[in-house]
Structure 1
């Protein structure tokens, strides 16, 4: 038999760690975690390797042969030779000795102002080497400069390009003007109303004429009314469409 006390004991206890409550003072049972398997190397840790990569502490655990270091390079030096200059290097001035005192207080009685003035006066006069040039005798005097021809040619080429651009723009404007333009809905309705009104007026006048006409002028008038009514009907049929395009003249 299962008693009520056993059911209460088996019921999981609520955890109130996420919010502050007086029930947090009740000691909670810590959950049991399964043991984790640790990593174990497949090599025996008590056996030293033959050569350690970073073994710098303590004596080496393997045999070291000194014969391997004697055959790497021959340690004998070449014979000594006396150094000699291969080029003639100019020697510097001799350094004065400590008991050699330089001469001080040397003065001269030469008047350099008078000496320079006398040298200038004694010089011969300079000859003017500049020759007068008569430009009227120069080759090409009075002729049109060549750079003016080049400038004139550039101006003509520029004007030709401008005229070509103007011609192309005028032709494009002409083509744009020749393209038909779509009539707006208001214009279409206005034209339809005007044609309908005109057709009613002609129809009213046409209906007042007699059936049998013997006069030639009345026959011509009747035929003219029929022609106008036919043209108006054709125009109304064209304007009855939703999209109507009109050519510009």
Structure 2
């Protein structure tokens, strides 16, 4: 029988299941490996013996035993006369390798050079900061050193050469046009006066078209009005393009 969500079998305690683990694997070469690992071991090789043997009470430190000794067994407190080398004899023979003292007196020469030297002149500086930061005036750009050059204000050579090349190329092109159209005689170059007269005539035509455009009615509610307005606008745009083209090109060829 059951009571709600519980069951009568849940009241009876269940026995705890024992967990059986498998035996750990032990290699058969384990004793051999341990023996080989400890074969070369030397106890107390780097750390010293585990217990330092103590001196007996009779062997205490006595006077003079703690001082280090020289290599020959003598204490360092030996006399200096015994440790120093013997002195050089007075009548020693002259050594050719010995450096001779020069006859020139460099000390006097340096002193005279300093006395006769001119004082160093101060450099010109400019202060352009509220904190008083001073800079050399030559690097500030205020010194007119470029205007004092020989080639200042002159046209550079490469520009003159380029102008000559362009003029020569234009002459060659013009000569080629003349030779090509010599038989036909249908093409000629407009002069500057003719070109200016042509520009003036185009501008006059544009002004006339502009006057007609300004005289149109404000309301374009019929088809003829719209057509007339579009026609005048197209004429004005074409005139503007022609004027811009003629003014931007100095050399214009026309047919007879």
The answer to which structure, 1 or 2, has the higher relative contact order (CA under 8 A, 6+ apart) is 1
- State whether TM-score is above 0.5: no
**TM-score normalised by length of structure 1:** 0.28
**TM-score normalised by length of structure 2:** 0.27
Please tell me whether Structure 1 or Structure 2 has the larger radius of gyration of its CA atoms: 1
